[in-house]
Structure 1
Amino acid sequence: MASNEEITGPISQEDVEAADKLKNEANEYFKKQSYNNAIELYTKAIEKNPKNAVFFANRSIANLRLENFGYALSDASKAIELDRSYTKAYYRRAAAYMSLGKYKLALKDFEYVTKVRPNDQDAKMKYTECNKIVKKIAFEKAISVDKKEVNIADSINLDAMTIEDEYVGPALEDGKVTLKFVTELMEFYKRQKKLHKKYAYKILIDVKAYLQKQPSLVDIKVADEAKFTVCGDIHGQYYDLMNIFKLNGLPSETNPYLFNGDFVDRGSFSVECIFTLFSFKLLYPNHFYMSRGNHETLDMNRMYGFRGEVSSKYTSQMADLFTEVYNWLPLAHCINSRVLVMHGGLFSKDDITLDDIRKVDRNKQPPEDGIMCELLWSDPQPMLGRAPSKRGVGCQFGPDVTNTFLQRNGLDYVIRSHEVKNDGYEIAHDGKCITVFSAPNYCDTMGNLGAFITMNGKDLKPNFTTYEAVPHPDVKPMAYANSFFNMLCQ
């Protein structure tokens, strides 16, 4: 990002006009949802005229759309510093705080606006709505403290759930997932039908029981001539997930897969995605792998739609059970002791080993720093060294950091996901840090390709398959997201 430093000299009229022109061009890109181009032009406008709060506030919302919450926060704060009365900048900062799960700080911004503009009904309404969220979360926390020992999976009474005669969907056989079940389930979901809650709960309970026995870092062995596939973010894009299986074959003992986090949120078919993936996990536990992403967390699910979707299609109790299950997802996988796969990236310290990852106590919401946080949130950067994260969580790491980590741990390269890429993948750090993102035309707006990686066990050379988005029923992304957050990001 461009420096936000004040300049001491006066700004010429010529620069002011040039900056306004750049801002208008950027606004056009923003309307077309071409956020990277918009950011580039807002940055150029700021370079011409760093004293205009609007440029920073506009760049802030573009960064919010790209999930660069750290940059969005810093830009909104700069806009406020330049113009204390600029209401929109407070809204942008509040949205950034909320994206980072800092609801009380968001509330402070709304409170400030209501004080300086007591007759602003919109500000009053946003303050009230944010206050409700803060109180609800405080209430949920209080309840969870009171019920510390309550385990949701253990409290579900499956025997009390009856399968109604009119239910004609897929059924577990003797309580077990079979290939017939999962094949029928995928077709059932394509027709926008809903799996019976008894089977849904049973799958979650069984997956949790399995995952609890797994280490935080799972070692995967792939035979020399065997094929192995790694997929990146799916983000609730069920019909694109089905397209991956069409292009690359269904998961099986001879066609193993690793899905590298962010199965849910944003896309409005997240329930369908996660139950399909969990069914394959139960069917082929040693040939189908799933890593935790930063969206398999409570704060993200609360804001970006998954919690709302589960509560709408099932119950809020099931949403709580999902949180319990996600806490047990492994944080990373190591293929043939040579390739490390994690959702986010590497670390703020140089001395981290694979054993350190194995020892992480993962049964919790990710902390704001440390190994677990960085595995889920970090991103690579082209520059050497490290930098604060554009997301406001984790860190950014350069090619030297990647090299040091690989040498220390005897690895060839790392695969991570977590970032939209135009081609569905990106090879960085001299081929040693690969990003794969499997949700094409992310959120129906980004126009990117999706990709997956295939390799054989012998040389582990990554091969990339890219594909375009396929049509899906007319349910918009973020349909179940927190409506207040959506309103803030307009």
Structure 2
Amino acid sequence: MAGNEELTGPVPQDLEAAEKLKNEANEYFKRQNYNRAIELYTQAIEKNPTSAVYFANRSISNLRLENFGYALNDASKAIEIDKLYTKAYYRRAAAYMALGKYKFALKDFEYVIKVRPNDLDAKMKYNECNKIVKKIAFEKAISVDKKGVNIADTINLDAMTIEDEYEGPSLEDGKVTLKFVKELMEYYKEQKKLHKKYAYKILIDVKAYFQKQPSLVDIKVPDDKKFTVCGDIHGQFYDLMNIFKLNGLPSDTNPYLFNGDFVDRGPFSVECIFTLFSFKLLYPDHFYMSRGNHETRDMNRVYGFQGEVTSKYTSQMADLFTELYNWLPLAHCINNRVLVMHGGLFSKDDVTLDDIRNVDRNKQPPEDGIMCELLWSDPQPMAGRSPSKRGVGCQFGPDVTAAFLQKNGLDYIIRSHEVKNDGYEVAHDGKCITVFSAPNYCDTMGNLGAFITMNGKELKPKFTSYEAVPHPDVKPMAYAHSMLSMFYQ
């Protein structure tokens, strides 16, 4: 009898309850409370696991939170339930796009236009996606021809003239000075653009510096000195300025580490990265920068940085950034006791600090292994490891953190990579700290930003949270690929 009941599917009361939960989830989604929306869609699915709509709705909520792995699984489940449900294909294609798997996205559109030949929207998305696939194939063909050519070496700074009408900051004898950086920040606040000659010079110089750095940088902080760690900035220039207002400008006596994801999404990524690179050149031994998962070609192509650099400067400069980002260090270790990386820990036990030091980082991150996981992994509350919600990296529990710390003689880890309501979160018995420094992320999340300060002796983290500050009316994702906004409808 029980078997027969199972075959009949959800009872009417459950169907009705599920629909109510879905409608409530839709309201939270509209208010950009995606975590709560996901909880309610999940409850709806538990009541009625036969609805493709519930899975597709949960998929787009996960897309908004950058949980691309979960989004992909939900969209695939929706398609399994209803092969003609077009929206589910759009959701899955968006997840594939976010993961840089454009050919898989294209296949989804091919299927949609096959079953719905008169669907103009699907045809348009197919054509856009096809353009990207062809463009990438073209870029690959060119890059084979240019193998071994460094873009930095092909830039002729002498051929670039400074026009008489340029009134912005100038390098002094080709060098960044404190006067230059202060003037640059004020110039950027007025939404003006640094001259391309100076911009290229900064990129060439900072690339040469990072090339000499190891993949894991050791930082020594004296006992009585302060050190600051900031998380994701994501092109929110005016919030970056607020950090310096609250905590002081970087200097020999006020050192900083910015822990990746300087760019993408926010519309002032160019301003953020040139400010940070200028401080790096000014205080090379007191200003540090880690690579994040958004300092990569695929992310920059989709989430706006490539478009912004091309719009404000040239596509050649966008390629130079890609070349430079390959040399950013992957992690920093403070006083041999605190390890800082953008993403998190590893899918394998027994990884050592020397293993990180030995990573050959001059490349786009692979889809697995130490380099990938340093940029992409996330902590989870339960013990053990799980497949990543993002579709890249892994999720690691408190036991994994404890074992890694013990093996490497560390006190705790600091990572970024995830929006947190207070701008930070302390997890894994105080051994895994997340810091995220972009408040009201994408002008929608309503979160606080935060930074961490500590002194060299105790290395005890002190958290400072802050709200977003006003910025000019340029929308987040203003330079993102047009496909993205189409997917997120």
Task: Provide the TM-score with structure 2 as the length reference.
Answer: 0.99
Partner Cα distance (1:324, 1:264) in 2: 15
SS at match of 1:134: helix
Structure 2: distance between partners of 1:10 and 1:334: 55
User: Aligned pair 1:80/2:85, yes or no?
Assistant: no
Partner of 2:359: 360
Amino acid aligned to 1:372: M
- Mapped to 1, the partners of 2:461 and 2:329 lie a distance apart of 22
The Cα shift of 1:145 comes to 0.8
The answer as to 2:410 corresponding to 1:411 is: yes
Distance, in Å, in 2 between the alignment partners of 1:327 and 1:228 is 26
Identity %: 86
Partner Cα separation in structure 1 for residue 323 and residue 119 of structure 2: 41
Deviation, 1:149, is 1.8
Deviation at 1:246, TM superposition (A): 0.1
Distance 2:226 2:125 in 1: 52
SS class of match (1:348): coil
3-state DSSP of counterpart to 1:466: strand
Matches within 5 A, 1:213-362: 213-362=212-361
Deviations 1:74-111 (A, max 9, x none): 00000000000000000000000000000000000000
Question: Where does residue 443 of structure 2 map in the other structure?
Answer: 444
Residue 95 of structure 2 corresponds to residue 102 of structure 1: no
C-alpha displacement of 1:262: 0.1
Change (3 A) 1:25 1:206: same
Residue 49 (structure 1) shift: 0.3
Cα distance in 2 for residues equivalent to 1:403 and 1:349: 14
CA distance in 1, matches of 2:131, 2:90: 17
Q: Which amino acid aligns with 2:121?
A: D
Give 2:411's aligned amino acid.
Answer: D
Distance 2:8 2:152 in 1: 64
> Who is 2:3 aligned against?
none
Q: Does 1:171 align with 2:170?
A: yes
Note if 1:93 corresponds to 2:104. Answer: no
| 1:455 equivalent in structure 2 | 454
Distance, in Å, in 2 between the alignment partners of 1:8 and 1:395 is 36
Q: Residues 472-487 of structure 1 correspond to what in structure 2 (within 5 A)?
A: 472-487=471-486
Mapped partners of 2:160, 2:118: distance in 1: 52
The AA in structure 1 aligned to 2:390 is: R
Give me the whole-angstrom Cα distance separating, in 2, the residues matched to 1:44 and 1:308.
39
**CA–CA separation in structure 2 for the residues paired with 1:429 and 1:106:** 37
Distance 2:355 2:133 in 1: 35
1:489, distance to aligned residue in structure 2 (A): 1.1
In structure 1, what is the Cα distance between the partners aligned to 2:29 and 2:7? 31
Query: Is the deviation greater in 114-123 or in 291-300?
Result: 114-123
The 3-state SS of whatever aligns with 2:386 is strand
> For 1:62 and 1:90, how far apart are their aligned partners in 2?
15
Q: Deviations over 1:410-458 (max 9, x none)?
A: 0000000000000000000000000000000000000000000000000
Distance in 1 of aligned mates of 2:386 and 2:50: 25
Structure 1 residue identity aligned to 2:32: Q
**3-state secondary structure, aligned to 1:439:** coil
3-state secondary structure, aligned to 2:117: coil
Q: Distance in 2 between matches of 1:383 and 1:364?
A: 33
| AA at the equivalent of 1:286 | D
- The farther-off stretch of 239-248 and 124-133 is 124-133
Secondary structure class of the residue paired with 2:206: helix
| 1:322 to partner: Cα distance | 0.3
Q: Secondary structure at the match of 1:469?
A: coil
Equivalent residue letter for 2:170? A
CA distance, structure 2, for counterparts of residue 260 and residue 80 of structure 1 = 38
**2:400 paired residue number:** 401
Per the TM alignment, residue 324 of structure 1 is displaced from its structure 2 partner at its CA by 0.4
Question: What amino acid sits opposite 1:359 in the alignment?
Answer: N
User: What residue number does 2:391 align with?
Assistant: 392
> Could you tell me which amino acid in structure 2 is paired with residue 123 of structure 1?
A
Deviation track 1:7-56 (CA, whole Å, cap 9, x = no partner) reads 65521111001101110111111111111111111001000000000000
Partner of 1:372: 371
CA distance in structure 1 between the partners assigned to 2:458 and 2:293 by the alignment: 30
Q: Deviations over 1:262-318 (max 9, x none)?
A: 000000000000000000000000000000000000000000000000000000000
> Is 2:50 aligned against 1:60?
no
- For the residue of structure 2 that corresponds to 1:11, the secondary structure is coil
Q: Does 1:193 align with 2:189?
A: no
Matched, 1:124 2:112: no
Query: What amino acid does structure 1 have at the position aligned with 2:243?
Result: I
C-alpha separation between the residues in 1 aligned to 2:23 and 2:279?
49
Partners in 2 of 1:435 and 1:9 — Cα distance?
46
Shift of residue 217 of structure 1?
Answer: 0.0
C-alpha distance in structure 2 between counterparts of 1:254 and 1:150, whole Å? 39
User: Secondary structure in 1 aligned to 2:300?
Assistant: helix
Number of the residue aligned with 1:4: none
What is the TM-score with the length of structure 1 in the denominator? 0.98
In the aligned structure 1, how far is the partner of 2:168 from the partner of 2:211? Answer: 29
Counterpart of 1:233, as a letter, is D
CA distance in structure 1 between the aligned counterparts of 2:33 and 2:431, rounded to whole angstroms: 29
Cα distance in 2 for residues equivalent to 1:421 and 1:42: 21
* Aligned residue in 2 for 1:31: 30
Identify unmatched segments of 5+ residues in structure 2: 1-5
Q: SS of the counterpart of 1:258?
A: strand
Mapped partners of 1:49, 1:326: distance in 2: 46
C-alpha distance in 2, partners of 1:281/1:436?
A: 21
Distance 1:375 1:149 in 2: 27
Distance in 2 of aligned mates of 1:125 and 1:290:
40
Distance in 1 (alpha carbons) for counterparts of 2:118 and 2:180: 58
Q: Distance in 1 between matches of 2:458 and 2:244?
A: 24
User: Which runs of 5 or more residues in structure 1 are unaligned?
Assistant: 1-6
Alignment partners' CA distance in 2, 1:202 and 1:423: 38
Aligned to 1:113: 112
For the residues of structure 2 that align with 1:489 and 1:447, how far apart are their CA atoms? 19
State the partner residue of 1:3: none
Q: Distance in 1 between matches of 2:254 and 2:135?
A: 45
Q: How many residues are paired up?
A: 484
Alpha-carbon separation, structure 1, partners of 2:7 and 2:71 = 25
CA distance in 2, matches of 1:131, 1:8: 42
Find the residue that maps to 1:115 and give its secondary structure: helix
